[in-house]
Amino acid sequence: MAGGLAVVFGGSGFIGRNVVRELARRGWRIRVAVRRPHLAHFLRPMGHVGQIQLFQANVRHRPSVARALDGADAVVNLTGVLAQQGRQTFHAVHAAGAGAIAALAAEAGVKAFVHVSAIGADENSESLYARSKAAGEKAVRAAMPSATILRPSIVFGPEDAFFNRFAAMATTTPFTPLPLIGGGKTRFQPVYVDDVADAACEALARPEAAERTYELGGPRIYTFRELMELLLEEIGRKRLLLPVPFALAPLVGLAGEAMGLLPFVEAPITRDQIKLLKKDNVVGASGEEGVGVIQDLGIRPDTVEAILPTYMVRFRKYGQFAERLA
């Protein structure tokens, strides 16, 4: 189907920009549906002249979604928020928004649909984020049974909100310990953003991916403490890793949310995200049967150790000339 028109919702985000680039490389024409097209012009050079079109659409406004889908052959939905802000709530974006895109795509006769959810999506979770992700999957399946659902673990890469955030904390607040929520025992299976982009493209290209769900994880599982130790080694910094029991962790989340109220400051962590940390974020943790993995899409995922050094250099004391800690 490559060469047709793919509409990417949320294409200016961290995962989205990599999906757009990979779709362009594979010969798709791409319409990037975003709330603020004037902030997404950096996407245009990722393709040939005229290959990538920017289009204003808001998943909370169904007519704009319908216009974005005009003539579409395929859809990739990447809309998502890590923390609620104003009308951009978890329910509005992850559940109602995803359902609206799928329903309108079905009405428009779209044949291939990829919905990016998250490992940990669970309608019975303590976390509102996880419940909204599960509601979004359910709404997409109801509207378009042939959709492919991708559930990545923590996604890492040059513009990620994980390693970059903690590296910034380690360098800008050198005397403040890095908190290990729940003792840092929660397990993660980080997956490289380029591999997630490849998975989305392969899901569109492979007929056997229709109607299936895939959990996307990298080749190795780490505890949160191990990831912080790996990060500190890479940037050449020594910082205290302070275990914070789950009983006290909501206070850390509340402080993070208070910081997020400041202008131009994102909350480093929220109480809802702390609830997510009570469960492992790895492939197969849900115990759901029939779920595929990234290797089933023909992808051999990269390791954290191979990719992290390529973009952590700016956090080292002497940049590219710094040596790692012994």
Name the pLDDT band for 265 (thresholds 50, 70, 90). Answer: confident
Total structural domains within the chain: 1
Residue 2 pLDDT: 66
Reported as a single tens digit per residue, the pLDDT across 252-262 is 999 988 988 88
Higher pLDDT among residues 228 and 269, named by residue: 228
DSSP helix/strand/coil, 218: coil
Pairing of strands 178-181, 29-34: unpaired
Distance between first and last Cα of the chain? 51
Domain membership flag for residue 140: yes
Domain membership flag for residue 315: no
Domain membership flag for residue 133: yes
The whole-model pTM stands at 0.94
- For residues 85 and 270, give the distance between their C-alpha atoms in angstroms, rounded to a whole number: 12
Domain membership flag for residue 321: no
Residue 283 pLDDT: 96
Reported as a single tens digit per residue, the pLDDT across 21-63 is 999 999 999 999 999 999 999 999 999 999 999 999 999 999 9
Name the pLDDT band for 324 (thresholds 50, 70, 90). Answer: low
Residue 168 exposure: Cα atoms within 13 Å on the Cβ side? 10
Q: What is the CATH number of the domain that holds 156?
A: 3.40.50.720
How high is the mean pLDDT of the chain?
A: 94
- For residues 19 and 206, give the distance between their C-alpha atoms in angstroms, rounded to a whole number: 16
Residue 241 in contact with residue 177, Cβ under 8 Å? yes
Domain membership flag for residue 226: no
Domain membership flag for residue 232: no
Residue 230 in contact with residue 304, Cβ under 8 Å? yes
Tell me, rounded to whole angstroms, the distance of Cα 271 from its chain centroid: 19
Domain membership flag for residue 180: no
Domain membership flag for residue 116: yes
Reported as a single tens digit per residue, the pLDDT across 86-144 is 899 999 999 999 999 999 999 999 999 999 999 999 999 999 999 999 999 999 999 99
User: Which residue segment(s) compose the domain that 31 sits in?
Assistant: 5-160+190-219+282-302
